[in-house]
C-alpha cells in the first residue's frame, strides 16, 4: 500500500475567469483527494516570479508570469495515496491537445499556458510549492 502524500494544485486565472473552478474542485474530490487547505489569492509579479523561479530565463517565463498575475487563483493542498502522480494523471498533459480524454486539461484547457491547472511534479517540488502558499498550521 502506498503512503499518504500531499501535492499542491492551482486552479489558474483562466479557469477562475471562465467560472469552472467548481467543476474542477468536484473532479478533485471525485478522484479521492482530501483538500487539506485552500485559498483564493491574486499573485503579484514578485510572487509569480518567485513561485516559477525554476523557469527564470526560459523563453516562456515572462508570458507565464503575466498570465498567472492576470486574475485570482485558487491554491490547494491535496492529500491521498500517490497524490503527486494521481493529480498529474487527473490534470492531463501540459498541452491540452496531447492530454488524455476526460482529463481536466483535455476538457477545459485552451493552450499549453491556458490549461486551467497546475500540479507539483515531484516530492521535493511539492514541499517547496506547498510551503510557498501554506504554513504547516494552515494544513488541516
Q: Which domains does the chain have, with CATH numbers?
A: 4-135 (3.30.70.141)
Annotated catalytic residues are 118
Residue 102 scores a pLDDT above 90: yes
140 vs 122, which has greater pLDDT?
A: 122
Task: Give the pLDDT confidence of 36-66 residue by residue, as tens digits.
Answer: 999 999 999 999 999 999 999 999 999 999 9
Q: What is the mean pLDDT of the chain?
A: 95
Once rounded to an integer, what is the mean pLDDT over residues 4-10?
96
Is residue 37 classed exposed, middle or buried when 0-12, 13-18 and 19+ CB atoms within 10 A define those classes?
buried
DSSP 100-121: PTTSHHHHH--SSSS-SEEE--
Q: What is the pLDDT of residues 108-123, one digit of tens each?
A: 999 999 999 999 999 9
What's CA 138's distance to the chain center, in Å?
18
* CA angle 87–114–131, rounded 5-degree value: 50
Q: What is the pTM of this model?
A: 0.94
Give me the pLDDT at residue 138, please: 74
Amino acid at each position: 500500500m502506498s503512503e499518504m502524500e500531499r501535492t499542491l494544485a492551482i486552479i489558474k486565472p483562466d479557469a477562475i475567469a471562465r467560472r469552472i473552478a467548481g467543476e474542477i474542485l468536484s473532479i478533485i474530490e471525485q478522484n479521492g483527494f482530501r483538500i487539506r487547505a485552500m485559498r483564493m489569492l491574486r499573485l503579484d509579479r514578485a510572487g509569480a516570479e518567485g513561485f516559477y523561479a525554476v523557469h527564470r530565463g526560459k523563453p516562456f517565463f515572462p508570458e507565464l508570469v503575466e498570465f498567472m498575475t492576470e486574475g485570482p487563483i485558487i491554491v490547494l493542498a491535496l492529500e491521498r495515496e500517490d497524490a503527486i502522480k494521481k493529480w498529474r494523471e487527473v490534470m492531463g498533459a501540459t498541452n491540452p491537445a496531447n492530454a488524455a480524454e476526460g482529463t481536466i486539461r483535455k476538457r477545459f484547457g485552451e493552450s499549453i499556458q491556458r490549461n486551467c491547472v497546475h500540479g507539483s511534479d515531484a516530492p521535493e517540488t511539492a514541499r517547496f510549492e506547498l510551503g510557498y502558499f501554506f504554513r504547516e498550521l494552515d494544513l488541516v
